[in-house]
Chains A and B, each alone.
Chain A
Amino acid sequence: MKKTFKIVAWTIGSLVVVVSLVAAIAIWLVFTPAKLTPIVRQQLPKFVTCETTLDQVDLTFFSTFPHFGLHVTNVCVKNPVAGAPSDTLAYIGDLTATIDLMAFLKHNDVILNQFYLENGVANVYTNAQGKTNYDIMVPSEVEDTTTSTFSFGKMALESVSVKNLRLVYTDEQAHMYGSIDTMNADMNAAFLGENGDAQLKGDLAGVRFEMKDSASSMSTNLATVELAFDGTKTGSELAGDVQLHLPNFSFKMDGVDYAKALNIVIDGPIAANMNTLKFAPRETKVTINEQELTLDGWAQYAENGDIPMDINFTSATLDLKTVLNLLPKEYADMLSDLTAESDFDASGSVKGIYNDSLMPQISVTTNFERGTIAYKGFPYVLKSVKGTAVVFIDMNPNAKSSVKITDLSAKTGTSLLRAKGDITDLMGDFKCDFLIKGDLNLPEMAWFLPEGMKVTMKGRAKGEVKTSFKLDDFMAMDLHKIKASGAFDVRDLDVVYEDSMLVKAPTASMSFNLPSNRTNKQFTELLSMGIKTPNANLEMLDFAKADMGGADLQLGFSDFMDSTKMMSMTCDFDVQHLLALMDTMSVDVRHPQGTVTLSPSRRNPKNPRLNLKYQSQALVANMGSTMKMDTKYLNVSASTTYDETQENTYLRWNPRLNVDFNNGHIRLASVAYPIDIPTIKFNFTPRQFVIDDSRVIIDQSDFSLKGEATNLRKFAQGKGLLEGKFDFVSEQTNLNQLMDLMDGFGASDSTATTAVASTTPSAQAPNPFMVPKGVNVTLNTQIKKALYADNVLENVGGKLTIKDGVMVLEQIGFTSEAAEMQLTALYRSDRRDHLFAGFDFHLLNIDIKKLIHMVPDVDTIFPMLKSFDGRAQFHIAGETYMKGNYDLKISTLRGATAIEGKDLVLLDSELFGRIAKPLLFSRKTKNKVDSISAEATVFRNEVDIYPFMMSMDNYSAIVAARYDLSHNYNAHVETVSPIRLALNIIGNATNLDQMSFKLDKTKYSNLYKPEKRNATEERTMALKKLIADALKDNVK
């Protein structure tokens, strides 16, 4: 710009010299144009080196009366330079200048009464090599080193008028181009020494300036410029009023339109000091597109190049939309989705020094009112936007700019937002600290939920959020570096998710903290949330419902933005009352509380691990009419680690369960008896199951079960047996009821023995108890009192073993009022329709009547026993295979029994009568039998009673029989003494009248005379011994 001024100054100076020379010649030498003009033409080459032409030079007096004037027309200065748009440097169409000659002669005052220039052209050009077309002055041969003694008294420009002046400036070396198509100006001025005053009014049209090189470009266009100035100069001080109107101002740099057709008005007093180059607007108004700013202060161009300044500004009410329209398109495009309208004002200051390294500080206080903000895609318009903000900009090194929002409020149709806070380090980290308060209508907040999340919300939330973050962190959603916390009170919450899940809460309070303010030993929490509600309803349509009363949920989440890691979450719950319904099932819980945690497994972070700690007071659960359960106290710790690589469900979930269950009651529709559980404490891990304590009451049974099962994991993998040892201790156990409970329990049919197809399919699918395979479990029983059928067994003790598909009741000893007993039983479920049951039963010193009562089947095998009274030893072993419905497979039925008795009484009966008569027995009511020793076997449907002898008084008789399970008899009774008779009894015992009682040949004369036995008799006795010995071998 300095260069431009220099060029213009040179041009004007040259013209002034030419004009002054012409005027001097005219005044001093020639007074007529005809004489003056040639003289001027002749003298011109002495001053300018280029071609100069003029039409006429004359002195005026009458036309400029009372002053003499000089009038020049059609002056043309030509200095062709290659590349210049024209060979003409300057052209003056008509120039008239008058001077107050008397004032000059008398007072040495230079009063230019009139300076009139019309139709002028200046064409200043510098080519790329630096050659100019304005270097036209003849250089001085001797440098003038004298000090000018020429001084004026008063200098005044009374009237200066310029019309239709056109200027063109081209500097191809500096890549600068400027032009003014038309310039008109009128000025009046008066100077006296260093003081003066001036009034200027001018207008320009078609003003253009352009600077362009390979790196950047800049252009300015002004369609018109209107300037008015009225001021004074006192010494170096200038002061005056300026009115500058730029109705169509455009400025473009590097392709960006920073200003486009702006209407700029500068109006107001301005002061300046020419020595100190201090510029001072005084309440000067600057209006851009009718947006008005008032400037007051000063700026100075210091000698060292600094520009210190202190300028205050205030605005009238501004229109935000208009101001935003002032933004360059490139910046406006960034806000293309934003539509904002608002009234606002701004006031502030610009203070500090501007130079190559410093920038002044800018402070702006702005107030918004009646604002409206809409954002494309956001379905609601923010209205009534109102607020106050203080912006402080300091672009100096290490300085930080900031924005302080003291209050900002806005509302949508039904939601209200208020915010305040600070943005610091505007040019750097852009750190934001906000406190946002809201009274929100939740349907309007659905827009903020993730896209694709089908959620409809109703209700209102009122609360506040406090947040602190850096903009880059926020844009990158780096939640580790964002701090936020908030709390909301929610009313009439009604949420529907995916048209299938409903949540309703009349009131609730919610809070969150980022980062979490909770301490979590399992993982580092990133976000924590809290939800409290006095009452909430949850519903999964067509599936389940839940009512929660007094719920307090505290949730913690790990870094859920990290896609490389599995998210962890935990929820502490404390609910006063929970009622859940699902189909016909329901759960009613009082005060459930605990923690559920989902996190990656420590061993394999790719696998999820679920932990649950649960505790509740009263719990009532119903499964329709199938089951009802209630408990006074339940404490559960559970965990599971999911391993998707495992095919086995157990290994896939790896469950852990620790249960403390008190005062429980279970009612099962399938079980006629109530099940009461005073306590159960057990610990289940993937490797073992430990029952620390348990007490169960099932109607007439109570028992305690303790012990442990181990090797669970290997069992699940099919690599080992499930080992277990448990102690079953009971005061009283009703075995019949427990056996009812066991119906249908057990493993599925797992045998491979399927070669034989069933030829007797059951009408109903049988559901027998299947003994688990791969299991080795021992149950040590101690039952003080066991009820079986109508019998009372005491001190029942022994082992119940389940081993690899076989259940063994091993040498259970017990006593009853009938006998001391020992029982070994075995049950094996080879396949569902082929079940094995066997027993080995020893009753010592048993009351025969009680024996028959206790084991009714004995009467089937030994029907004659019911004719005896007294005590005996009884040994029996039996076994059979059964169908799935427990019907016997008769072909597999095997049994052996031995009975020994002394001092028995043979009761009189109809059968005895039928026998006694032909054998000539005495029919006493009670016949004392000295001893009896009998053996019997069961094979398939056949019962064989091996010959045995009984003695009574002086009678001895041998009895042998064969009968079937339908009581079809073929018996032989033979008296040995005092007479030898034999009786054959044939027929069905259920009808004695139909039976045949015929005398027969004696067969066993020597059976009990060892020295006289024949081979058959020896064999018979040996077999009897074989049967008895085999049975007794098992007695412990």
Chain B
Amino acid sequence: MKKLVVIAASLASIVLILFSSCETPVTFDETLLIGKWERPSNNGLECYRYDANYNGVTWDTGEDVSEAEGQPFTWSVESATMTHIHIMEMGGKIPKTYTLLTLNDSTLSYKDVFGVSFTFIKVK
């Protein structure tokens, strides 16, 4: 009986491992990202523009910043992981990694490793 319990537990573990390793990775169509996205900020809108060449700019109109004055970043999407690398004029780089939750032609939502979620609406 004790052996049966051990065997059953082992099988169950194997099944669980097999099931977990065979989970289909979530992917997103990165082309849907191209364009301008915005969400409310304190006094305006927090905006991101994703360009097709994997560059982009971000600005916040709530702080009297225009798109032309936006700060640059590069972006990439791998599976559900979206990475922004913000390029500093002074030479530093600031990586930000997010997990994509939704990406369609109107909504972009993701969260960071600390669980903070962000939701943007695409600017038509």
Contact = CB atoms under 8 A, between A and B. Distances in A.
- A and B form one complex: yes
A874 interface: no
Given A879-B89, A894-B71, A756 B94 contact: no
B46 interface: yes
A883 B64 contact: yes
A891 B62 contact: yes
B65 interface: yes
Contacts of A757: 64
Interface string A1013-1036: 000000100010011001101100
B69 A830 contact: yes
Given A891-B41, A892-B71, A1026-B85, A756 B65 contact: yes
B122 interface: no
A753 interface: yes
A826 B89 contact: yes
B91 A1026 contact: no
A42 interface: no
Contacts of B62: 759-760, 891
Among all A-B residue pairs, the 4 with the closest Cβ atoms: A877-B92, A891-B60, A896-B92, A756-B66
B72 to A, nearest CB: 10
B95 A1026 contact: yes
Contacts of A891: 41, 46, 59-60, 62-63, 65
Contact of A877 (B46, B63, B85, B91): B91
Interface in A880-896: 881, 883, 889-892, 894-896
A582 B15 CA distance: 98
A838 B90 contact: yes
Interface in B42-71: 43-44, 46, 59-66, 68-69, 71
Which of B63, B92, B93 has the largest count of A CB atoms less than 10 A from its CB? Answer: B92
A759 B94 contact: no
Interface in A749-768: 753, 755-760
A1031 B65 CA distance: 26
A267 interface: no
B64 A759 contact: yes
Main secondary structure of the interface of A (DSSP, over half): strand
A1030 B93 contact: yes
A594 B83 CA distance: 72
20 contacts: A758-B64, A759-B43, A760-B62, A838-B88, A839-B90, A840-B90, A878-B90, A879-B90, A881-B63, A881-B65, A891-B63, A892-B59, A892-B71, A894-B86, A894-B94, A895-B92, A1019-B83, A1019-B97, A1030-B93, A1033-B91
A824 interface: yes
A834 interface: yes
A833 interface: yes
Given A756-B65, A756-B66, A838 B89 contact: yes
A892 B69 CA distance: 10
Contact of B92 (A834, A1023, A1030): A1030
A877 B90 contact: yes
Interface string A745-788: 00000000101111110000000000000000000000000000
Nearest to B95: A1023
Interface of A: 753, 755-760, 824, 826, 830, 833-834, 836, 838-840, 877-879, 881, 883, 889-892, 894-896, 937-939, 944, 962, 970, 1019, 1023, 1026-1027, 1030-1031, 1033-1034
A962 B60 CA distance: 22
Contacts of B86: 894, 939
Nearest to B63: A889
Contact of A896 (B64, B94, B97, B114): B94
A874 to B, nearest CB: 13
A833 B96 contact: no
A892 B92 contact: no
A962 B96 CA distance: 12
Interface residues of B, number: 30
Contacts of B93: 896, 1026-1027, 1030
Contact of B63 (A826, A890, A896, A1033): A890
Interface string B16-49: 0000000000000000000000000101101000
A573 to B, nearest CB: 55
Interface in B96-115: 96-97, 114
Given A830-B69, A838-B88, A894-B88, A1027 B64 contact: no
B90 A937 contact: no
A942 to B, nearest CB: 8
A834 B66 CA distance: 10
B95 A833 contact: no
A712 B115 CA distance: 57
A890 B95 CA distance: 17
Contacts, number: 110
A175 to B, nearest CB: 109
Contacts of B64: 756-760, 833-834, 883, 889
B66 A755 contact: yes
Given A892-B63, A939-B94, 19 more contacts: A755-B66, A756-B69, A757-B64, A759-B43, A759-B61, A838-B88, A840-B92, A881-B65, A891-B41, A891-B46, A891-B59, A891-B62, A892-B71, A896-B93, A937-B95, A938-B94, A1026-B93, A1026-B95, A1031-B91
Nearest to B70: A892
B95 A1031 contact: no
Nearest to A758: B64
B114 A962 contact: yes
Nearest to A875: B92
B47 to A, nearest CB: 10
B21 to A, nearest CB: 13
A879 B41 CA distance: 21
Contacts of A1026: 85, 93, 95
Nearest to A1019: B97
Contact of B69 (A753, A1027, A1030): A753
Contacts of A759: 43-44, 61-62, 64
Contacts of B95: 937, 1023, 1026-1027
Nearest to B59: A891
A1031 B92 contact: yes
A358 to B, nearest CB: 105
A799 to B, nearest CB: 16
Nearest to A825: B90
B65 A834 contact: yes
Nearest to A1020: B97
Contacts of A938: 94
B54 to A, nearest CB: 16
A838 B86 CA distance: 14
Contacts of A836: 89
A342 to B, nearest CB: 93
A892 B85 contact: no
Given A759-B43, A840-B91, A877-B90, A753 B66 contact: yes
Given A756-B66, A890-B63, A939-B86, A1034 B96 contact: no
Contacts of A879: 88-90
A890 B69 CA distance: 14
A834 B41 CA distance: 18
A937 B66 contact: no
A148 B91 CA distance: 152
A944 B43 CA distance: 25
A839 to B, nearest CB: 6
A629 to B, nearest CB: 40
A838 B96 CA distance: 20
Nearest to B71: A892
Given A891-B46, A1026-B85, A1034 B91 contact: yes
Nearest to B58: A891
Contact of A834 (B43, B61, B69, B94): B69
Contacts of A838: 88-90
Nearest to B66: A756
A1028 B86 CA distance: 14
Which of A759, A894, A937 has the largest count of B CB atoms less than 10 A from its CB? Answer: A894
A894 B93 CA distance: 9
Contacts of A1033: 91
